[in-house]
Amino acid sequence: MGIGTLYNLLLVNPTINFLLLFLFIFSTWNIPGAFGWSIIALTIFIRLLLNPLFAKQMKTARDIEMLRPKLAALNDKHKNDKQRLQKEQIKLYQDHGINPAGGCLTALIQMPVFIALYHVLQLFLTHDVAKIVQEVNAVAYFDLIKITNIDPWFLGFNLAATPSQFKELGWFYLAVPVVTAILQYYQISMQSPASAPAKNKKSKEADSNKDKKDDAEDMQAAMAKQMRIMFPIMIGYFSYVFPIGLALYWNIFSAFSIITSRTHKTWTTQK
């Protein structure tokens, strides 16, 4: 069994079936825009499944942020001995029960799920109806959830269309990439650590080593600020050229992440 076949068997096909199940439920209830609501339900369902990983990732990031003063002190103390600095940093993390690589591992675990969801939505949104019906019914687990047709309209939007077609479809389609970019910017802003207050010029001039450190921190802050602007613009552009159904998934995921982040911050502050 090849990797592609295993990937479809374990991730893509189950995702298709969950989407078909939600579509069956909303269609049975005669809810207008059943396909759009199915995408929302599937996105929330997957986000809830991944929530423990996100919570762990946020906790790790918060714990590392709290250790920044101690990490900075270690950096100053062992700046001429990189090997000793690395050992002391590892010891500091271990003493506080922190795995700095945990966030990366969490992201790696999430990526296959995100890619599978993207492939499923792409299948539903970028092919003709006859091909969609044929391909999804071929992997449906039950005859009950098989489809004969699919209605791509949701709240006045054609989910299979792209905002780049706004001249034919209407100017209001341009609201999709704008909202997507704004939500992405807000999400990144919430997850970014607060910037440190500006340093006094005289204190910089007093110590050349500290001056270099400040310059490095300023450069890092500038890069983070640039990414905070460029990444939402990039995502906004993607939502401009890709089918709106993908933007719907992305926006629901971003909104859920924003709510989760706010709730997590409030809970940890009260704790």
The C-alpha atoms of residue 92 and residue 104 are separated, in whole angstroms, by: 19
* DSSP string for 161-217: S-GGGHHHH-GGGGHHHHHHHHHHHHHHHHHSPPPPPPPPHHHHHH-HHHHHHHHHH
Give phi and psi for 183, each to the nearest 5.
-60, -40
The C-alpha atoms of residue 244 and residue 163 are separated, in whole angstroms, by: 7
Tens of pLDDT, residue by residue over 34-93, are 999 999 999 999 888 888 877 777 777 777 778 888 888 888 887 777 888 888 888 888
pTM of the model: 0.77
The C-alpha atoms of residue 44 and residue 249 are separated, in whole angstroms, by: 9
Contact 180, 251 (CB under 8 A): yes
pLDDT by position in tens, the chain (length 271): 455 688 888 889 999 999 999 999 999 999 999 999 999 999 999 888 888 877 777 777 777 778 888 888 888 887 777 888 888 888 888 887 777 666 566 666 667 877 888 888 888 887 788 888 999 999 999 999 999 988 999 999 999 899 999 999 999 999 999 999 999 998 887 766 555 444 444 444 445 555 555 555 556 566 767 777 888 899 999 999 989 999 999 899 889 888 877 776 666 555 5
- Residue 167 tokens, joined: 């001249």
Alpha helices (H) along the chain: 3-7, 13-28, 34-66, 68-77, 82-95, 102-125, 129-138, 166-169, 175-191, 201-206, 208-241, 244-270
- Residue 91 tokens, joined: 């010891």
Contact 71, 93 (CB under 8 A): no
Contact 127, 152 (CB under 8 A): no
